[in-house]
Structure 1
């Protein structure tokens, strides 16, 4: 009996084209609706991509976003409410404290994207606390019942809210955190996408209260406010993020003109959202470097 061996060639998954990531960015930021987004993706299905592969690469899978478990013995996580009289009246956030904390510690506000307090941002708060800071991640959607469990609904909810009230809620959250009984009085903030904008807004609105700000791919504050920025700021940009990067040259000129303390890094070849480990936009090497720089920045300005 003869054995016939058949050669089987392995075909690696096709790389998702850049335009798909660009379309997702437009969709995630309200520049196109879901129908238009899916219609554009279908054009890639016509040339050999499966819709499952495309959506899996672009949409978040929050099962992947847990670098620090909520059961980690080094931290203690809970929820805390705060007063926001100029905003929604009351806010709530995810408070994470180092379990072995003795006395006080620096505090860091963690600001979500444009869809509420999702599992990725909660994990970022735990990562911050694991490095010895008190982390607080407010949920802008709390007045509407909180993050609904999926990003599409969360995005629609946040879009329905009054932007000025959301900003006031984060300003109130910053005050709550800086004056927390466990705070050493040093306040930092890190935010992603919309959260990056909020960090820039805080730096321009409460420059004497914010001791260190790290906006990840965030747009600047309103032009009338930018002259107030003092810093220090550590600005993190994605090289392929045309939308946000287009705002940086003018912002940088203004920061230079007023003598603000800032450092900016552009991570080439990565997309908006490259730090988010729950999506296909995640780029581990650049995300780890950006995070290492962020923690070193907070250590220098909040613990020194």
Structure 2
């Protein structure tokens, strides 16, 4: 088989990758289980290559896009990692103060995909901050496998503090209008829910396929929520009905969408789980939501 197409791959293979990407399978076990599906001209190396992220040709916004002013900054996180590196981006021609968005990475540090997402949001007219929770361990190492291993070594509560401090850094930035929201993906989706619980002044939260907060914490949420889920992502999506029931019970403002035939990670355009139609629609909804809630 010369070229693998997404349609050639059984759903079980995507589920295996999900287990691997979330540290429920080590690499050896992943390869062993993957071999079951290496049939009809498919080889394990070919499947591995197909499933892994491609950062070479997938960026939508160039790193040096002249429409943006982007730079790496460091902010303090006294209860977290001490000092955290982050990508700060805003439109180069910004006039006046901008709504702020904290962009939270997956469980592997600040990789090129998340940096690209932060630039996309900045081009839509916001000031964005994308922290790297791996900073205390040397930063994103250049590949997701090592990034996952590194992130698993960090204290979870300290990482939460890193993102809460990112909110405060952005809120007090001279170019921010004081209204700050958060968008997060996978692990970052869970962080977006956590920030909605722990930061009363958060202006908006958009978790993409993120783990839900404890039901007992739902009354603490003040921010409006926009939640994106994938129908094939049973691991995360099965937690939505009780979360929604609690949001309704406590009169919280939210919108939620479940994207049919989409996998966990459907917004990430660097892996074959990417679903362009679902990703484009979810992103349009996200930017519209932030425009409504963050702009002066």
Q: TM-score range by the shorter chain?
A: over 0.9
Residues 215 and 246 in structure 2, CA contact (< 8 A), matched pair in contact too: no
Is the counterpart of residue 225 in structure 1 residue 217 in structure 2? yes
- Residue aligning to 1:25: 18
Runs of 4+ in 1 over 3 A off after TM superposition: 10-14
Runs of 5+ in structure 2 lacking a partner? none
Is the counterpart of residue 278 in structure 1 residue 270 in structure 2? yes
- Residue aligning to 1:237: 229
Once the two structures are superposed, residues 2-46 of structure 1 have per-residue CA deviations (whole angstroms, 9 ceiling, x without a partner) of xxxxxxxx9985611100000010111111111111101111114
Q: State the TM-score, normalized to the length of structure 2.
A: 0.96
Q: Choose which of 94, 100, 110 in structure 2 pairs with 1:101.
A: 94
Q: Choose which of 205, 228, 249 in structure 2 pairs with 1:213.
A: 205
- Residue aligning to 1:7: none
Whole-angstrom distance in 1 between the partners of 2:25 and 2:137? 24
Distance 1:103 1:11, change over 3 A: closer
- Residue aligning to 1:294: 286
1:94 shift after superposition: 0.4
Runs of 5+ in structure 1 lacking a partner? 1-9
Q: Choose which of 130, 137, 144 in structure 1 pairs with 2:137.
A: 144
Residues 190 and 211 in structure 2, CA contact (< 8 A), matched pair in contact too: yes
Q: Between Structure 1 and Structure 2, whose CA radius of gyration is higher? A: 1
- Residue aligning to 1:130: 123
1:271 shift after superposition: 0.5
- Residue aligning to 1:75: 68
Whole-angstrom distance in 1 between the partners of 2:230 and 2:50? 18
CA RMSD after TM alignment: 1.5
Residues 4 and 50 in structure 2, CA contact (< 8 A), matched pair in contact too: no
- Residue aligning to 1:56: 49
Residues 230 and 259 in structure 1, CA contact (< 8 A), matched pair in contact too: no
1:103 shift after superposition: 2.3
Whole-angstrom distance in 1 between the partners of 2:103 and 2:175? 17
Whole-angstrom distance in 2 between the partners of 1:37 and 1:66? 27
Q: Larger deviation: 268-277 or 97-106? A: 97-106
How many residues align? The count is 294
Q: Choose which of 109, 115, 136 in structure 1 pairs with 2:108.
A: 115
Whole-angstrom distance in 1 between the partners of 2:4 and 2:287? 36
Whole-angstrom distance in 2 between the partners of 1:211 and 1:94? 21
Whole-angstrom distance in 2 between the partners of 1:154 and 1:235? 26
